[in-house]
Amino acid sequence: LTRKRHHRPPRTTNGIVDHEFDDHLNTIPKYIPTDHCRLAVSDITYIKCKEGFVYLSLTMDGYSRIITGYSLQRTLSREGPLDALTQSVEFYKKYNYDVNGLIFHSDRGCQYVSKEMTSYEAKLGMITSVTQTGDPLHNAMAERLNGTIKNDWLYDYEAMTFEETKEAIDKVIQLYNNVRPHRSLGMRTPMQTLDPSHQNPLVKNEGFA
């Protein structure tokens, strides 16, 4: 008999215990946002496609649950989280929200506490918040989003190429933001929370353009 080998999933966080950013405390344990653009949460998750493991960075508004930025990368680098964050800043600007004072919360991964990331946040007046331990519950909102996107929306991605996976994720994010009602949002979609006049294309029985 041969013993089945279990493959350990790749790490998405290179935590640093003693580093110069220890002063960025976890500011959200009891914080509940009361409006858009007050709290954004972010995390990186892995996806196994045909070409191997790739890495998806997601950033979500804590009030409306809108995925405001996302980036799929072949490597576990700061480009993914930074790309997702810059997309989020542009998203907020589009809807006339000022990111000054926005709490940007993530785990303690080296991507999130890099000088490039924290300097960008500081320049815009954002508040950097990182978990103080490796406990996923300290970034629970982002962790739940990871599971929803990977387990509930993506199908057969192990047979997809990197580019095909990117296209699938584009569609999934669009569906998540525009079609999926949330119980926590009073059965509205994230975009309907931002704009009550926003129509759910599924309800209208219309497809996406």
Q: Is the backbone of residue 8 left (phi > 0), alpha (psi -120 to 50) or beta?
A: beta
**Which pLDDT tens digit goes with each residue over 138-193?**
678 898 998 888 877 777 788 899 999 999 999 999 999 999 888 889 989 999 99
In this prediction the pTM is 0.83
Residues of the chain with pLDDT under 50: 1-7, 15-21, 205-209
Question: Would you list the domain boundaries of the chain?
Answer: 39-190
pLDDT value at residue 188 = 93
Task: Classify domain 39-190 at the CATH topology level.
Answer: Nucleotidyltransferase; domain 5 (3.30.420)
* Residue of 103, 48, 94, 111 whose CA lies nearest to 194: 94
Which strands make up the sheet holding 39-49, listed edge to edge?
67-73, 52-61, 39-49, 103-106, 127-130
